[in-house]
Structure 1
Amino acid sequence: MTPHGADESVTQPATGVIMTPGYATTIAQLAYVWGWPMVNMLNRHHSITAAPQPGLLNGVLPVAPQGRLAMLADYIEPSETFVTCPNQDVVYGLAYMSLDEQPVIVQVPDFGDRFWVYALYDARTDQFGELGKPYGTKPGFYLLVGPNWQGDTPDGIRDVIRSSTALANAIPRVFMDDTSEDRAAIQSVINEIDFYPLSDFDGAMKTTEWADLTALQGPASDGGGETKWVVPEKFFDQFRTVLDIVPPLAGEDSLYAQFQILLDTADGDDEIKKVLTDTAVSTERDVIAPFFKWKHNGRPAGNGWNRSTSNAQFGIDYFLRSGTAKSNMFDNRPTETQYFYIDDDAAGAGLQGERNYTVTFPADGEPPVRGFWSLTLYNDKHLFHPNDLKRYSLGTKNKNLARGDDGSLTIYVGAKSPGPEHETNWLPAPDGHFSLYIRAYWGEEPILDGTWEPPAVRPA
């Protein structure tokens, strides 16, 4: 068969051949690395859109039927395991969509001076469209459509935003100070955030009390980290769907042809079918799992930190796309957010809660941003560490941070309190391994060009 849009004048792999196990292993391993983020997206979509109505899965995760949004009304709960590396600087929402069959209306309220961005992801985990404060987006209605949608655009729509794939999701992020006053002030704004099918559009701004979402019962976390969205033993059955619904990028036709012949061969050859399963299991262990370590993500940023690059604009950079999907899926694009992460202290030793550390930003040395910044602590699973202070990050949202006489800001990190005089600047850590993560939303030029360096993490 000829894959989507392939040039028929170019010779494609022959059908009906007897493929050797060694060759099948080679192509299967590439298919697994290439397709891992998209199978991940496919399974998240199926799980989230199974919700009968917008609600909070187990009282924690926003879920909704296809084409609809569920929105939090506060920071995400620390017990969530839907995605690694969440943050507690923003109020999140989540929607999954199939945009060819069901175009979706996006409501944008008047956010005033508050930072906000609606991150829109296609099936490849690349962002599309530009909706947010960095883009000067005006309040009103926007229409999301799929690559093949040809319907009429109703009056009252500011812009039509087309995804490169029918399968897409949206994650609104709205900044909120960590104060009771701002928690109250943000409610009227977020209550006008919504995504819903075009068939429901009547030109009037809809309002939903997101704080009143119903808790929906679902599978409980097994305590083993992020929900396991890719199961190696099932991967190649689901991979077929990816090839059907995700059209190739320029230059990918030959990849699609190789992958399709591999699947077709496995259909009639039990030995090759077993090769696919065995290769999926070994590639998960040997290739995907190591992406969880920050040293395998992005590029060096100074003082032992790595930084993101090409996030949410991966294109054919399969290495970074799969690495990000494994370690911290759903980044914002680089101009919206830069991420810095580290597993080791300044001496190269792994971060351990039994030790205390300091992270000191010199005067005028905090991340230069037009949005906000934060330093977040994650446990060894890239999730929040429950603690008595219910504190998981420090930064712009915190209005009581103590600074030195010279204007510097020192954040204390460790399982043991640094003492009452420093407690406002303390990030509690678990007893074992942990990592640190800096977010710089809407970075200024030193963030974008890489000249700003994160401070060293020093043992106290």
Structure 2
Amino acid sequence: MSSELAGPGALTRMPESFVRAMGRVAYIWGWPMVSMINRRTALTSVPEPGLRGGVLPNAPVGRVCMMTDYIPAGQRFVACTNQDVLYGFGFGSLDEQPAVFQIPDFGDRFWVAAAWDHRTDSFAEMGKQYGTKPGFYAVVGPNWKGELPAGITGSFRSSTALAAFCPRVFIEDTPEDRAKVMELLPYVTIYPLDQFDGTMKTEDWANVPTFPVPGEATEGEIRWVDPAHFFDQLPEVLATVPPLPGEEALYGQFRRLLAAAEASPEVKKTLVDVAHETEREAITPLLRWEFNGPAAGNNWFSPTNNSAFGTDYLTRTAIARSNMFENTPRETKYLFTDTDIDGAPLDGTHTYTVHFPAGELPPVNGFFSLTLYNEHHFYYENDLGRYSLGTKNPDLVHGTDGSLTLYVGNTPPPDTPPANWLPAPTTAFSLYIRAYWPQPPILDTTWTPPRVERTN
């Protein structure tokens, strides 16, 4: 093939090296947004709110489906789910039709209702930490020109028409708390603005239909970005996601690259090759937590700008690859590690302790948890059905000095309090701390996460 690849008539010829370099940048930059397009397409292709495979909430555009239990093991739609909250999920097309978040009175219970734009930045502030009052909250698109009706409590505007929704409601792992949450849950819903009539609607979330899971099951997350078609989908991103200040030139370069590919089969083939290479060499490594944020102490890592990425393309894409749909730091602080205190990879052929000294539990106003994920960032299925430990577990055994030691391994070490054991596979795994509604010490990094120490 020629070392120079021809573009359309008015375009300067592009050396293959330039196509490869710019194509790689475009792939890394656009990966989260192409992922959003494909998730929306797949997760809204149902006639009514329901559960895919009986495990993951799906809903038509503009709606949400709420779960009545923790997300179980086995689903491969979304990596790094948790066993702390009841999830809801949905997508909106907010220029065509705003959506209404219906918020009941949660009392003292922790809850948060997130909404992300096409870039995966959070744009709505609804939750206990914001002092949000019960009512009806509209989320609208950047080009929506309508007038909100009387009775709407507040509104938030997205920078893009495409948006994702995720209400979360904390639940303790006890029959008593489950019963209390079930009284609230029917009033938690999202629906299109044209269905708003000023009254609190109810949904029977315990009896939604089940829809089949398309495609074959895999060990890892569903492949939401296909390198073979990435550059066919990138034009939709450029057309519907406005550039951030300073990105105009970048958009221009990407459009020239796509124009050259449209005019030249050689350029198009090169871009497809680049997409496959970049997926393998640049995107796949982002599953490792060390690329998802700066060091947080004791070999843990933590993003400081989750869901508010700006032009931090590395962190945006790393989180989209490893842990899509994080809350903002003010809502949730995330800390994760693939290694122990000595830097050795976590491996279930060994056992570990995670020790919180007295007074050193994650400083939160909401709750915290420690979750274990397998090498693909999904639950390790075990006979106990136990994937995390934390605030939701009132039976954890603390030391006489108030400290807390959690034990991690494929089998519990001798003399381990059964409630403090977190089962692990016999292969590689990672650990993940969630701190909902974090206090200043965890936000300003003066709090240090616990040591993970190998015990055998």
Q: TM-score band, normalised by the shorter chain? A: over 0.9
1:48 paired to 2:43: yes
**Offset of residue 224 of structure 1:** 2.5
User: 2-side partners of 1:198 and 1:321: how far apart?
Assistant: 30
| Residue 273 (structure 1) aligns with | 268
What CA deviation, in whole Å up to 9, does each residue of 1:204-245 have, x standing for no partner?
110001111111112255223111100111100011111111
User: 2-side partners of 1:222 and 1:261: how far apart?
Assistant: 38
1:28 paired to 2:54: no
Q: Which segment is superposed worse, 186-195 or 427-436?
A: 186-195
- Helix, strand or coil at the partner of 1:199: helix
| Residue 258 (structure 1) aligns with | 253
What CA deviation, in whole Å up to 9, does each residue of 1:136-186 have, x standing for no partner?
001011111100001011000011211000000111111100111111110
Matched letter for residue 266 of structure 1: A
| Residue 10 (structure 1) aligns with | none
User: 1-side partners of 2:37 and 2:46: how far apart?
Assistant: 15
Q: 1:113 aligns with which of 104, 108, 132?
A: 108
Structure 1: give runs of 5+ residues left out of the alignment: 1-12
Structure 2: give runs of 5+ residues left out of the alignment: 1-7
Q: 1:353 aligns with which of 348, 351, 367?
A: 348
| Residue 209 (structure 1) aligns with | 204
User: 1-side partners of 2:134 and 2:213: how far apart?
Assistant: 35
User: 1-side partners of 2:439 and 2:92: how far apart?
Assistant: 33
| Residue 147 (structure 1) aligns with | 142
- Helix, strand or coil at the partner of 1:260: helix
- Helix, strand or coil at the partner of 2:229: helix
User: 2-side partners of 1:286 and 1:344: how far apart?
Assistant: 22
Q: Is the 8 A contact 2:407 2:416 kept in 1?
A: no
TM-score of the pair, normalised by structure 1: 0.96
| Residue 161 (structure 1) aligns with | 156
Aligned length: 448
Q: Is the 8 A contact 1:354 1:416 kept in 2?
A: no
1:327 paired to 2:315: no
- After superposition, residues 224-263 of structure 1 pair within 5 angstroms as 224-263=219-258
User: 1-side partners of 2:366 and 2:165: how far apart?
Assistant: 20
> Could you say what the CA RMSD is over the residues aligned between the two structures, in angstroms?
1.2
TM-score of the pair, normalised by structure 2: 0.97
Q: 1:16 aligns with which of 11, 14, 29?
A: 11
Q: Which segment is superposed worse, 382-391 or 420-429?
A: 420-429
User: 2-side partners of 1:336 and 1:143: how far apart?
Assistant: 20
What CA deviation, in whole Å up to 9, does each residue of 1:1-34 have, x standing for no partner?
xxxxxxxxxxxx9943222211111111110000
| Residue 380 (structure 2) aligns with | 385
Identity score, percent: 53
- After superposition, residues 434-453 of structure 1 pair within 5 angstroms as 434-453=429-448
Matched letter for residue 122 of structure 1: D
| Residue 136 (structure 1) aligns with | 131
Q: Is the 8 A contact 1:57 1:63 kept in 2?
A: yes
| Residue 8 (structure 1) aligns with | none
User: 2-side partners of 1:16 and 1:142: how far apart?
Assistant: 48
Q: 2:67 aligns with which of 69, 72, 95?
A: 72
